[in-house]
């Protein structure tokens, strides 16, 4: 019939029958410009040879999921510009060799054998192999990768990088799209390779298969940091299309910034790729959290990321900066981060420098004159070079953990510059250069003290009174019970007392002894409402102190005792029962006191 149509331009052939004797299909129409071959449910006992001789053909579609067709010789379709090929072929080379002039090609080539073509392929599974590009496709401008059909009996998925870059990557490719992208290792390798070698690429789009937001965000981050060869960087972007983000994008900036502040800071810049609405939003995030783990080998990359994100941040006021460093850092790098944050009106700084790093870090002087700070938390930091006086006129919370001072006067000078300080958390280092640690802070409302074995304990100037102190946490590693009684005596508003052995000091450096004071602190009798003792061992000195508190605390509502964790001390069930029995028999000055044994 076809020879009778000398000027035929479009042919649509659809086959649904089941044939026992395989025919040969020959389509020889010089004038044909558009050809569609659809074979649904077609089955045969042998291969069906397909011959196409259409030198004027511009558009080709072949869909065959039966696996019955074969191409015994190259086809005369060298003028095809757009092709959609969805077939099962063991050897697709002859078909693909005939598409040398294609501009837009959609391929879904399933094969029972692993094939290499042009040295570059990606095996999706036993049933599907997608060929991304070949050196013969010198005019190829658009590539779309999509897993159209379910994978049956999947093998190990992999992709081999070719020995040389396909010519289409270096000369023509402008648009690359990956549908149902999963971020698998072989997918990342292939996408990274295309982004790195396609020098004329204008747009790369990735549509995620997963519905998990965290997985999508991780894929965004990985793709956004991929190296790109395209010189048209202004219009060149990598996107993971998120339909749900359209609805979220309708929210006001304040809501979106709050959402971004809940994400790890390392993931926040990647959200700029979601849509135009999010392009610069990440730069306005005012709460930054940088955490470097000890197993993070790319220390240089971490430093560069912090540098870049801090410099690009345009928030009017930097609400908080959290730096947690498990590897040794250069003072210059850390100083640059602190100075940059201080210039932005920093309100809260949490700086954690790992204990295992022997040399404490020195922070820039500008930190100690930051008049906007409300919260300051320092760990493994040296204050030896700090110049006084400092300025913390708005500071309300101060944590000093393993801090090294110049001498006895340094802590006093520091605290005297905090006129409205309300919370002080002090964890002493063993050799912090301070023999007498003076604390005179009348505004203090909460004080947590942890003394390490061998360190000299805090001493208070005589006559000082903590008029506002309501919460006290006291470390029992050093049994300076006189100091505890002094604190109770000079804290008229103390409502909560917590004792805790933080550093697991079994024997201590001093005699485990406590003498009952001649006078009972009024705070203990008339104000204290909550008493908690963690890592309680039940030793005689502890039992005597517990008895004193329970006996004289007339307004006590709850007394909680938690034994030492079994990982630290083998506390048997019998020992626990003994401690419970002893505590339960102790007299209580408050009839409302509830005894809790955790």
Question: What pLDDT sits at residue 277?
Answer: 78
Question: What pLDDT sits at residue 207?
Answer: 80
Question: What pLDDT sits at residue 467?
Answer: 86
Beta bridge partners of 36: 12, 61
Tell me phi and psi for residue 210, to 5 degrees. Answer: -70, 150
Tokens of 84: 């959609």
Contacts of 557 (CB under 8 A, 6+ apart): 529, 530, 590, 592, 593, 594
Question: What pLDDT sits at residue 231?
Answer: 54
Dihedral of CA atoms 574, 580, 581, 586 in degrees, nearest 10, equals 150
Q: Return d(Cα 66, Cα 63) in angstroms, integer.
A: 9
Q: pLDDT averaged over consecutive 10-residue blocks of the chain (598 residues)?
A: 82 70 76 86 64 89 75 78 78 73 71 39 30 51 72 59 79 82 84 85 79 69 72 41 58 83 83 77 92 74 90 93 91 94 96 90 95 96 94 96 93 94 91 85 89 62 76 79 85 93 56 76 94 90 92 95 66 80 92 90
Helix segments in 77-212, DSSP class H: 93-97, 167-171, 185-197
User: How many angstroms separate the first and last alpha carbons of the chain?
Assistant: 91
Q: Return d(Cα 546, Cα 350) in angstroms, integer.
A: 35
Are 500 and 476 in contact by the 8 Å Cβ rule? The answer is: yes
Question: What pLDDT sits at residue 466?
Answer: 84
Residue 590: how many other CB atoms lie within 10 Å: 18
Are 420 and 371 in contact by the 8 Å Cβ rule? The answer is: no
Q: Return d(Cα 440, Cα 466) in angstroms, integer.
A: 8
Question: What pLDDT sits at residue 17?
Answer: 60
Residue 131: how many other CB atoms lie within 10 Å: 22
DSSP string, 492-552: TT--EEEEE--S--SS-SS-------SS--HHHHHT--EEEEEEE---HHHHHHHHHHHHH
Contacts of 343 (CB under 8 A, 6+ apart): none
Residue 475: how many other CB atoms lie within 10 Å: 22
348-353 vs 423-427, strand pairing mode: unpaired
Helix then strand then coil, in percent of the chain rounded to 5, is 25, 25, 50
Question: What pLDDT sits at residue 323?
Answer: 95
SS3 per-residue string spanning 343-411: HCCCCEEEEEECCCCCCCEECCHHHHHCCCCCEEEEECEECCCCCCCCCCCCCCEEEEECCECCCCHHH
Q: pTM score > 0.75 for this model? A: no
Residue 587: how many other CB atoms lie within 10 Å: 8
Question: What pLDDT sits at residue 123?
Answer: 32
DSSP H/E element including 256: helix 253-261
Specify the residue for token string 């999509």. 146
Question: What pLDDT sits at residue 124?
Answer: 31
Tokens of 1: 């019939």
Dihedral of CA atoms 466, 470, 476, 477 in degrees, nearest 10, equals -70
CA 84 to chain centroid? 40
Instruction: Name the maximum alpha-carbon separation found in the chain.
Output: 122
Question: What pLDDT sits at residue 460?
Answer: 65
Structural domain boundaries in the chain: 10-225, 286-444, 462-597
3-state secondary structure of 359: coil
Over its C-alpha atoms, the chain yields an Rg (Å, rounded) of 37
């Amino acid at each position: 019939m076809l020879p009778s149509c000398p000027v035929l331009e479009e042919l649509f052939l659809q086959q649904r029958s089941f044939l026992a004797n395989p025919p040969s299909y020959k389509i020889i129409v010089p004038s044909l410009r558009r050809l569609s071959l659809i074979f649904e449910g077609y089955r045969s006992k042998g291969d069906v040879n397909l011959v196409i001789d259409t030198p004027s053909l511009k558009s080709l579609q072949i869909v065959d999921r039966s696996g019955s067709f074969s191409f015994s010789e190259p086809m005369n379709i060298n003028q095809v510009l757009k092709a959609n090929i969805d077939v099962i072929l063991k050897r697709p080379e002859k078909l693909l060799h005939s598409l040398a002039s294609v501009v837009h090609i959609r391929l879904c080539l399933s094969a029972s054998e692993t094939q290499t073509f042009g040295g570059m392929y990606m095996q999706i599974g036993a049933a599907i192999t997608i060929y991304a590009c070949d050196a013969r496709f010198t005019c190829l401008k658009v590539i779309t990768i999509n897993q159209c059909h379910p994978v049956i009996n999947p093998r190990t998925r992999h992709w081999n990088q070719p020995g040389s870059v396909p010519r289409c990557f270096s000369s023509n490719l402008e648009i690359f799209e990956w549908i149902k992208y999963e971020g698998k290792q072989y997918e990342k390798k292939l996408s990274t390779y295309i982004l790195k070698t396609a020098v004329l690429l204008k747009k790369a789009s990735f549509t995620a298969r997963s519905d998990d937001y965290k997985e999508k965000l991780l894929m965004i981050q990985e793709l956004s940091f991929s190296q790109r060869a395209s010189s048209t960087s202004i219009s060149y972007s990598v996107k993971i299309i998120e339909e749900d983000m359209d609805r979220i994008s309708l929210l006001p900036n304040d809501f979106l910034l709050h959402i971004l502040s809940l994400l790890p800071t390392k993931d926040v810049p990647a959200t700029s790729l979601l849509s135009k609405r999010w392009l610069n939003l990440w730069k306005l995030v005012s709460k930054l959290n940088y955490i470097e783990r000890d197993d993070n080998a790319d220390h240089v990359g971490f430093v560069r990321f912090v540098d870049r994100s801090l410099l690009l941040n345009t928030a009017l006021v930097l609400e908080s900066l959290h730096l947690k460093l498990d590897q040794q850092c250069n003072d210059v790098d850390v100083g640059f981060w602190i100075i940059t944050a201080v210039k932005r009106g920093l309100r809260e700084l949490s700086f954690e420098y790992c204990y295992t790093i022997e040399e404490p870090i020195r922070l820039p002087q500008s930190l100690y004159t930051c008049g906007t700070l409300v919260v300051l938390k320092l760990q493994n930091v040296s204050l030896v070079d700090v110049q006084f006086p400092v300025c913390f006129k708005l500071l309300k919370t101060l944590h000093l953990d393993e801090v090294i001072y110049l001498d006895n006067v340094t802590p006093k000078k520091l605290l005297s510059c905090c006129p409205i300080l309300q919370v002080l958390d002090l964890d002493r280092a063993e050799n912090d250069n301070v023999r007498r640690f003076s604390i005179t802070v009348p505004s203090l409302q909460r004080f947590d003290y942890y003394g390490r074995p061998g360190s000299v304990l805090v001493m208070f100037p005589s006559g000082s009174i903590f008029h506002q102190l309501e919460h006290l946490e006291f470390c029992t590693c050093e049994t300076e019970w006189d100091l505890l009684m002094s604190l109770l005596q000079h804290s008229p508003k103390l409502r909560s007392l917590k004792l805790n052995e933080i550093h697991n000091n079994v024997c201590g450096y001093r005699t485990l002894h406590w003498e009952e004071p001649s006078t009972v602190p009024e705070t203990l009798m008339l104000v204290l409402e909550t008493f908690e003792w963690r890592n309680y061992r039940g030793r005689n000195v502890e039992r005597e102190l517990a008895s004193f508190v329970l006996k004289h605390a007339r307004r006590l509502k709850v007394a909680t005792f938690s034994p030492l964790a079994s990982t630290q001390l083998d506390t048997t069930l019998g020992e626990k029962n003994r401690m419970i029995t002893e505590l339960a028999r102790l007299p209580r000055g408050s009839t409302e006191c509830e005894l809790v044994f955790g």
